Structure 1
Amino acid sequence: MKIALFTNTNVSLGAGIEKTLLNYVKYNTDHQLVIVQSQFYKVQRLPNDVLDRIGIKNVVTIKDYEHCISFLRMHRITKPIYALILPLLIRITKVLNIKKLRSIGELDVVYLFKNEYWPLFKGKLIIGSNHAQFAFDNTYNRILALLVRSGLVYRGIDAFHLFPKSKGIGKLMGKRYFTGIIGVETSQFKPKARDNTVNVLFVGRLEYIKGIDLFIEVCKKFEGNTGVKFNVSGGGEYSQILNDNKLPNLTYHGVLSEGELADLYGKCDIFLYPTRWDAQPSVIAEALSAGEYIITSQRIRGTYDDLSEKGFLEYSSLSLDDLSNRLLKAIDRVAELRAISDAEHSYAVEKYDNSVVVRDLYKNIENLYISMQRNQH
């Protein structure tokens, strides 16, 4: 099959969605892939030729302007304004890039990392996804799901790839869907030798929505504990704050290469990720594979419950006291947590390795394509 993978960012951004797309490319064995991306990235984590390095020549880069209004979707009050403006911007994007889009030729399937862009591929078999939407089973998303069911929104999307915790939303939408998780490069992210210091880590976009401000505040509470060090890697709006920080127990590593990042993961004991919004954060799978104990936001409860059941992860409220107390208890039993790091990695290999996850994804896409072809005849 000829499949287009679409993201309205640039792959060289190298954040969670972009790394997931790259894994979909790297572990594809049977299909002809076309990557459709935009010109935009806030921070460049990966080289411009990253797709070329893994053998993908068919790349179409369009000009898109969603980033001009993306700040509106960060706040509950302005989010409806974003939702109203975006369809107009997408229409403009289609007009401005019509020649490039036509140059792609015939496609069997289009897979969207950003569902709103389905009009760019109108008339194709389109699969929407959970990567940038439907993170929570809340009133807003339930209403959106019912609007999908009614055909008022996403009428051109034929099916959805959802993460397991979003099955309820999938049933409300009344469209075909299949479930699947986000994987990790388990051969790269492994536990490493650790010293006497307890190292706590945050990796991700350095934005309010990801909870980096809470991580910094927790760090301040442990300023007098010389046996605990806090580490941050990533780029974003808090980069300058971290560069200017005077906290003796906090190290900002900036934007690291994949190898450097994997090394940092492996040397840390606890992954503290107080996110306010995520669908299925890939950083959790990376921390698991690296053998770190994970403390994360209860807002993603239902996403990694298997890790909670195995004692590899715990959910916390976003109050500073709760986060700090849970971290303190984890620090007190760091010897016990280090003893299970290899078990964490083994579990990641079994359940979250990209070779398994991506194989299952393409199998689901193939089955969907065959089923819909039969229905047309």
Structure 2
Amino acid sequence: MTHPALEDLLRPLAPQVLGALVRRYGHFATAEDAVQEALLAAAQQWPSRGVPDNPRGWLITVASRRLTDLLRAEQSRRERETRALVLPAPESVSGVDDTLILLLMCCHPSLSPSSQIALTLRAVGGLSTGEVARAFLVPEASMTRRITRAKQSIRDSGQPFALPSPQERPARLAALLHVLYLIFNEGYVSTAGPSLYRADLSGEAIRLARLTHRLLPGDSEVAGLLALMLLTDARRPARTAADGALIPMAEQDRTLWDATAITEGVALVTQALPCGPVGPYQLQAAIAALHDEAPTWEQTDWPQICALYEVLLGLSDNPVVALNHTVALAMARGPVAGLERLAELEGDKRLAGDHRVPAVRAHLQEMAGDTTAAAASYRQAAAHTLSLPQQRYLHARAARLTPPDP
């Protein structure tokens, strides 16, 4: 078995094994250590001995034994071997997949969004602490502390390893979807650093969204989120030039877009929309589908996109959604209408310092023919972003509108 094939096999099994151990024994942090050791044993033994008939059961058995050893050692240290640790006997391997419980536990309401993201990527995504730290451009030691505190908070909460109550479940699922959404966005448009996007991070978000959709096939918002990710990520191959420069959607070569992902995303959102209350992820997916199905930027159905954004704003007072609605409004009714709407938004403190506000203003000013003001707004936007590709793009737009010195 090749290394990539083994990794593809072990990756989806890891959260299932961790969930089985936490359900049986508790001890989230120690269970995670035991699972990592079982995965290492599999990586060492399976290539030469062959994959067992029940790889999940093999991993659970090995991890359970290791967890028992770790807990006994910990108890011995605490009580200096004055009495034996009584542990539940290893049970027969259940066919139950506890991954959904594990996902919802990682998004426990006692955790901050950043801790929810870190713990989800670590426990369910299978990323090492170092990989999670690099993804969010923080020192590994800082990420270690964040994940450790998150595990401690879950332990202190006393919450059993089980699905939330019917009353709690909608809020917990909403938190989970929000975490996956944030992971995808950070991968698709990196907020800082030399790269415009992190394909590994957005790819992991899509994998986890697929997993959640498999576990909750009847939830229309889960389907909507997966559709949104697929329809958005489908445009990634055309987002940058050979030198890494950013290419805006209006100028992208649409033949480079991933037609397979678009077809899947459109099918998901088409099936989800009639099946229940329409939520924000379904609406955003419908907007993304209109973009992806348009032959050109100019032929995009801007009035319908504008209408969908208005429905979305009715569900959530989100300033970024309002900003996107402003662009759609300008495309549907002209730049003056967009600039008037933008003037209303610029007083929103939630957008203070966000580079997207002057970037949108610059785009609309350029559409209106006010190139001098547009160049100044592009430079202002460049000063407010930490993303190097976006800085280069915005400075280039400003330079293109600035007449050369005589």
Same fold? TM cut 0.5: no
Higher strand proportion: 1
Higher helix proportion: 2
Higher RCO (Cα < 8 Å, 6 or more apart): 1
TM-score w.r.t. the length of structure 1 is 0.27
